[in-house]
Amino acid sequence: MPSDEYEISTDPARIDRPLVHEFLTNESYWARGIPRDVVDRCIENSLCFGLYREAEQVGFARVVTDRAAIAYLGDVFVVTGHRGRGLGKRLVETVMAHPDLQGLRRFMLGTEDAHSLYERFGFRSLANPERMMEIASPYEGPDD
């Protein structure tokens, strides 16, 4: 199945919120156990990209941004069954080309296992990690 059978849209009305919640809470390592209401707020307050094959959503990415100086890319995924077709690359490429995300001072993300994917788009390890700080509060899932 060629990747031209797929389209990417930023129309928030098309986002399959149950699918996004299901993937994040059960399949991701970064948002396991995330409550549905939090996913809804994340979608409502971010620039979201849905990956679709016909009417079915098969991938997602979102960017938290002020559209001027800073952005954070997160929740990037392609569902099982649609992987291995270059769709993750295409999704990130579309995110990076979005007009509202050009000329930013800082574009960040976190990843455990996809460094080579993001390096293709210019992402690097922090040049000065000692300048960065965080408050990390993982969601408590049903097994925690």
Q: What is the pLDDT at residue 143? A: 45
DSSP string of 84-105, one letter each residue: SSSHHHHHHHHHHH-GGGSS-S
Q: State the pTM of this model.
A: 0.91
- Per-residue pLDDT for 142 more than 80? no
66, amino acid identity: D
Q: Name 98's Cβ contacts closer than 8 Å, sequence gap at least 6.
A: 10, 47, 49, 63
Q: Name 66's Cβ contacts closer than 8 Å, sequence gap at least 6.
A: none
Contact (CB, 8 A) for 30 and 68: no
pLDDT tens-digit profile of 55-72? Answer: 999 999 999 999 999 999
User: Which residue, chain included where needed, has tokens 């979102």?
Assistant: 62
Q: Residue 19, exposed/middle/buried by CB under 10 A (0-12, 13-18, 19+)?
A: middle
Domains and CATH numbers, the chain: 3-124 (3.40.630.30)
Q: What is the pLDDT at residue 1? A: 40
Whole-angstrom distance, CA of residue 122 vs CA of residue 4: 25
Q: What is the pLDDT at residue 137? A: 80
Strand 70-78 with 106-109, pairing: parallel
Q: What is the pLDDT at residue 144? A: 42
pLDDT tens-digit profile of 10-38? Answer: 999 999 999 999 999 999 999 999 999 99
Q: What is the pLDDT at residue 4? A: 79
Q: What is the pLDDT at residue 67? A: 97
For the chain, the average pLDDT equals 93
User: Percentage of residues in the chain with pLDDT exceeding 70?
Assistant: 94
